[in-house]
């Protein structure tokens, strides 16, 4: 069974245990790389054409406005093809209780029939949010696995937890 690990991750300013910390690599990217190491597969990073503000608080304001307006940001690229993949790990930071709107742009681009979607998110205490329910609406015909929520500030120390979860899902 082939695995594709799709993720959106924010490097730079991030909320981190009550403060703002500048990250060279986003927490969700770290988690995606742990999944790849544990179960193999191809990585695909979702990137928007228009970048979010570098300032964390300005970024979350932008994200909230996108969510309220149902915006679908333009993406730089899409995976060439998802046909050869059985398992799609889908990673994102939890923004305002759901995935960044860029993830919806990507999800609405493909037919997910027959795929197993395995969501994972990083957050600073908000958990999974509603994406498991949202995924069922957007990804018609897919099986949605139980997701994994990782505390963002603990992602780098969570490799075993992430790997064990990924192995149970393939």
Per-residue model confidence as pLDDT tens digits over 25-53: 999 999 999 999 999 999 999 999 999 99
> Which range marks the domain in which residue 120 is found?
3-168
User: pLDDT value at position 97?
Assistant: 87
d(CA 42, CA 70): 29
Interhelix angle for 159-168 vs 27-39, to 10°?
A: 50
Q: What is the pLDDT of residue 106?
A: 97
Confidence of residue 75 (pLDDT cuts 50, 70, 90): very high
Q: β-strand 3-7 against 116-123: which pairing, if any?
A: unpaired
**How many domains is the chain built from?**
1
pLDDT greater than 90 at residue 129: no
Q: Is the pLDDT of residue 1 over 80?
A: no
Q: How far is CA 30 from CA 10, 73, 110, 144, in A?
A: 11, 23, 25, 22
Q: CA nearest 30: which of 43, 41, 47?
A: 43
Q: Give the CA radius of gyration of the chain.
A: 15
For residue 125, the model assigns a pLDDT of 84
Q: What is the band of 128 on the pLDDT scale with cuts at 50, 70, 90?
A: confident
Q: Could you identify the residue written with the tokens 């990673």?
A: 91
Task: Give pTM, 2 decimals.
Answer: 0.95
| CATH code for position 155 | 3.40.50.360
Q: Where are the alpha helices (DSSP H) in 50-130?
A: 56-69, 101-107
Residues with Cβ within 8 Å of 12's Cβ and at least 6 positions away in sequence, in order, are 22, 23, 54, 56
User: 132 pLDDT exceeds 80?
Assistant: no
């Amino acid at each position: 069974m082939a695995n594709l690990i799709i993720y959106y991750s924010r490097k730079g300013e991030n909320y981190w245990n009550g403060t703002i910390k500048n990250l060279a690599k986003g927490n969700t990217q770290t988690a995606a790389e742990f999944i790849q190491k544990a179960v193999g597969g191809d990585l695909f990073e979702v990137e928007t054409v228009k970048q979010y503000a570098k300032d964390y608080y300005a970024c979350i304001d932008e994200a909230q406005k996108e969510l309220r307006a149902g915006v679908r940001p333009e993406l730089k690229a899409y995976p060439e093809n998802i046909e050869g993949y059985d398992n799609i790990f889908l990673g994102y930071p939890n923004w305002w209780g759901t995935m960044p709107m860029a993830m919806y742009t990507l999800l609405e681009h493909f037919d997910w029939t027959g795929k197993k979607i395995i969501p994972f998110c990083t957050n600073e205490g908000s958990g999974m949010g509603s994406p498991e329910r949202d995924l069922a609406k957007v990804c018609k015909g897919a099986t949605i696995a139980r997701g994994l929520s990782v505390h963002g500030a603990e992602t780098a120390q969570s490799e075993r937890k992430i790997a064990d979860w990924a192995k149970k899902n393939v």
